[in-house]
Structure 1
Amino acid sequence: MIIIFIFITLLYAFGTLTPMLEERIPTFFVILALVLFIAVLLSLIYTMIKRIREIKGGEEDDISKY
């Protein structure tokens, strides 16, 4: 599941960054967009892995924490 998510996110990033490179947008903005994509991707992967571990550990519902 994680591999599929990463693949879809990378396709989205490629589809967004390719036109930016073709239109000769300043390098700063391309790098900024790339950093943002990577940050979002890493945070979502971290959250997904954390949730999978919770489910495997028997915590189906987090309501007891609140």
Structure 2
Amino acid sequence: MISFNLPDRESLDTFFAKVGVVSIGLTTTWTGEFSLDDGQTWIPVHGTATTTERSKPITVGERKPVLVNPTP
């Protein structure tokens, strides 16, 4: 099973409203379980593992639409 948390809509709007050079980060905490009888019984793996990654910097710009051929 995969589960994840996302920020609320207001946080996303604020994040995507930023202009400039940014990088995106992701931290994942893993848990696991295993089976020795073809999935009849699952045994949890004790503890967790965490991985963290960051993107290379990217430039976020803002563009504004312009109506260039209005219909009379």
Give 1 or 2: higher strand fraction: 2
Give 1 or 2: higher helix fraction: 1
Same fold, judged at TM 0.5 (above): no
The TM-score normalised by the length of structure 2 is 0.29
The TM-score normalised by the length of structure 1 is 0.30
Larger-Rg structure: 2
